[in-house]
Structure 1
Amino acid sequence: MSQLWSSSTSPENESRPRRDSKVRHPGRRFAQMVKLKPEFVDKYKEVHAAVWPEVLKQIRDCNIVDYSIFHDPETGILFASFKYVGYDYAGDMERMRENPKVREWWKMTDCMQESLVPGAKDSESGEPSWWKPVEEVFYTP
């Protein structure tokens, strides 16, 4: 996902990025779904109105931006979307999983949800994913 640019070191090329400079990824969009158990709707909204600062920091540190979760009360579906702007998605998601506060958050919120992915155990396990990935079929910036 990262790009390394090459340039000579001559003065006329100083405006170009140097060979070792990284260019921030413009963003890869993700969307996911999970089902919210009806008895936890109010609690789920309550905890997301005050997400733990350590969890928010880890999300930012793992290069996730523009993160939203929507709820459809008729179906119970939670729909999440976010943009990943880092260089190593798999590595950043592993760093996310390594954070004890994030794992504690997942344990709390997973019990309020039902995965739509056959064989999924929880958010911490990783594969198969707890939240079902959804294919983007249209986008206009």
Structure 2
Amino acid sequence: MENKRYALALDLIDDPELINAYKKAHRKVWPAVIDSIKNSGIINMEIYLTGNRLFMLMEVDALFSFDKKSKMDAKNPKVQEWETLMSKYQKIVPSAEKGEKWTLMEKIFQLE
């Protein structure tokens, strides 16, 4: 099995001070959060920002699953603390499903 790539979107509250604080927090992501990301099977993760829209690109190994990651995060107090802190900056995209935070994006083109 080979690695997979996922693209996800999330909005930030459209406030320049909050956006700057969010960017600053991501320059020093807590070690426990980094460990949790790596231990879930995420090989690489990048987050991009335009205006108040975030775009996350994740490369994951064959064992990764969103369900497994969610269960791991629920049991990790530091990840929960980080998520609570980040939620004050975040605003769910209008197309999100109920209970969804980061929204999975559909790939519609690939140059080959």
Give the TM-score taking structure 1 as reference length: 0.68
Distance in 2, Cα, partners of 1:140 & 1:130: 29
Q: What are structure 1's unaligned runs of at least 5 residues?
A: 1-24, 120-127
Give the TM-score taking structure 2 as reference length: 0.84
| Identical-pair percentage | 23
Matched, 1:81 2:52: no
Matched, 1:64 2:42: yes
Q: What are structure 2's unaligned runs of at least 5 residues?
A: none
Contact 1:62 1:93 in 2 (8 A): no
Decide which of 32, 35, 57 is 2:11's aligned counterpart.
Answer: 35
Select the structure of larger CA radius of gyration. Answer: 1
**Partner residue in 2 for 1:114:** 91
Matched, 1:136 2:96: no
Contact 1:30 1:133 in 2 (8 A): yes
Query: How many residues of Structure 1 are paired with residues of Structure 2 in the alignment?
Result: 107
Distance in 2, Cα, partners of 1:61 & 1:138: 30
Aligned-residue offset at 1:86 = 4.0
More contact order relative to length (CA 8 Å, sep ≥ 6): 2
Aligned-residue offset at 1:140 = 5.0
Distance in 2, Cα, partners of 1:33 & 1:44: 15
Between Structure 1 and Structure 2, the one with more strand by share is 2
Cα root mean square deviation, aligned: 1.8
